[in-house]
Chain A
Amino acid sequence: MRKTHKINTTDIEKKVMEKVTTNQITMKPRWYFVLGSTLMIAGLASFAVLATFLTNLTIFLLKKHGPNGQWRLQQIIESFPMWVPILAIVGIVIGIWMLKKYDFSYKKNFWLIVLAFITSILLTAFFLDYTGLDNIWMKQGPMKHMYQFNDEEVYRRGSGRGYGRMMMQNR
C-alpha cells in the first residue's frame, strides 16, 4: 500500500481554528475530568460493594431456608425475594461495564478481569458468611434492617411455615 494517495483537501485547519478563536468550542476544564474519574472509581467501588452484600444476602437467605432446611425447593422459589440476586447481578454487570472503561482493560485479557471481578465478589460474600458477619449484621449495625426484613419476608411469603417459630425466636 502506498502513502501517495491524494486526498480531496478541505480546509480543516481553517474551519477548526475559526471555532477555537471565536470560542464556539472551548476546552472542558481539568476539574471536569478529575470529577469524572473520581465518580467512576466511587461508582465502581459502590457497585462492587452492593453486589457483594446482595450476593451475601442471597447466600444468607438460601442457607437459612435452603434444601436442607425445613422447606422444600418449590416453597423456596415461591417465597425467595428474587430482586436480591437480580440486583446483585445488575451490580456485577454495571461494575464490569465500568471496568471496561478503564485504560488498562484492553491490554489484559478482559474475560480474565471479568472472572477475577466476579470471583472476588463471590469469595468476599462467602467469606462474610463463613466468618458469621452476616449473622452479626442481622442483629446489629446499619445492615440489620435489610437482613431482618428479607428474612422475615421469606418466612411470611412461604405460606406462613416457620413464621411463628421465627417470631418465637425473635422474642
Chain B
Amino acid sequence: MDDLIKLSDEAVVEIIRRKDKNIFSEIIRRYQEKLQRYASYLLSDDYLGADATQEGFIKAYINLNSFDVKKKFSSWIYRIVHNEAMNLINKNKGNFLLNPEIDYDSGVDLEDELIKRELISKTHKCLNYMPILYKEPLSLFYLDEKSYEEISDILRIPVNTVGTRISRAKGIMKKLCEKHTK
C-alpha cells in the first residue's frame, strides 16, 4: 500500500487497467475531496456536487481504457466531473445559489471576526452573480491551484482564453461587489 502512494496517477491507472480493479479506490481517495469541492463550487450545492463527483468517478472507471497515460490524469478526471456538473447545471437552469457555508479568503488578514464575517457575507453576494463562464476558471485557478495549461485541458479552451477569463473574472468580481454590497 505504501508503494501505491508513491506511484503517479498514471502508473496507478495502468495497474487498475492491467492487474487490479480494486486499486481504483486509491484514485477516488486522491481526488474525491478536490473534485467534490470543485463540483460543489460550480453547482453551488454540496449534495449536487457529490452527485456530480460520484457520477464522474463511475464514468471515469467505465472509460478508463480511453485514457492516454502520456497525458495528465488529473486534467482528464477533472474534465469528466466538469461535464457532469455542467449536465446538472443544464438540467437545473436558473436554480443556482452559492452555498452560504463556502468560505472565501479576502486576502486580508483581519483580526476582527465580525468584520471578517461581514466581508465573507458580502463576497458570497457578489459570487452569486458571477456567471458560470468565469466561475469555472476562477475556481480551478484559486481553489485547485491549477496551471493555465491544466485549466485549458479541463475546460477545453485555449490557454490565452483561460488568462483572459481569469482576468475578466477579477474585474467582474470587483464590479459585482461594488454593486451588490452597498
Residues in chain A within 8 A of chain B (CB atoms): 1-8, 10, 12-13, 15-17, 19-21, 25-30, 32-33, 106-109
Known contacts A7-B49, A20-B22, A108-B158, A13 near B32 by CB under 8 Å? yes
Residues from chain A with a CB closer than 8 A to the CB of B105 are 1-2
Instruction: Considering the complex, give the chain A residue whose CB is closest to the CB of B156.
Output: A106
Q: Most chain-A CB neighbours within 10 Å: which of B41, B47, B54?
A: B54
B178 at the interface (CB under 8 A from A): no
Rounded to whole Å, the gap between the CB of B130 and the closest CB of chain A is 12
Query: What is B's interface to A at a CB cutoff of 8 Å?
Result: 17, 21-22, 24-25, 28-29, 32-33, 36-37, 40-41, 46-47, 49-50, 53-54, 57-58, 61-66, 101-105, 138-139, 142-143, 152, 156-159
Partner of A7 from B29, B40, B139 at Cβ < 8 Å: B40
Q: Are A106 and B152 in contact (CB under 8 A)?
A: yes
A141 → B minimal CB distance (Å): 40
Q: How far is the CA of A1 from the CA of B25 in the complex (A)?
A: 29
A17 engages B65 (CB within 8 Å): no
Contacts of B28 in A (CB 8 A): 12-13, 16-17
- State the CA gap A9–B143 with chains docked (Å): 18
**Is A21 a contact of B22 with CB atoms below 8 Å?**
yes
Measured between alpha carbons, how far is A20 from B60 in the docked complex, in Å? Answer: 12
B29 to chain A, nearest CB (A): 7
Contact A19/B58 with A5-B102, A13-B25, A28-B63 known, Cβ cut-off 8 Å: yes
Q: Which 4 A-B pairs have the closest CB atoms?
A: A2-B105, A106-B156, A8-B46, A1-B142
Complex Cα distance A1/B173, Å? Answer: 12
- Residues of chain A contacted by B62 (CB below 8 angstroms): 25-28
Contacts of B61 in A (CB 8 A): 16, 20, 25, 27
Separation in Å of the A23 CB from the closest CB of chain B? 9
The 28 listed contacts between A and B (C-beta, < 8 Å) are A5-B37, A5-B40, A5-B41, A5-B101, A5-B102, A7-B33, A7-B40, A8-B47, A10-B54, A13-B28, A13-B29, A16-B57, A17-B25, A19-B58, A20-B22, A20-B24, A20-B61, A21-B22, A25-B58, A25-B61, A27-B17, A27-B62, A27-B65, A28-B62, A33-B66, A107-B152, A107-B159, A109-B158
Count chain B CB atoms within 10 A of each CB in A4, A27, A30, A107 and give the residue with the most.
Answer: A27
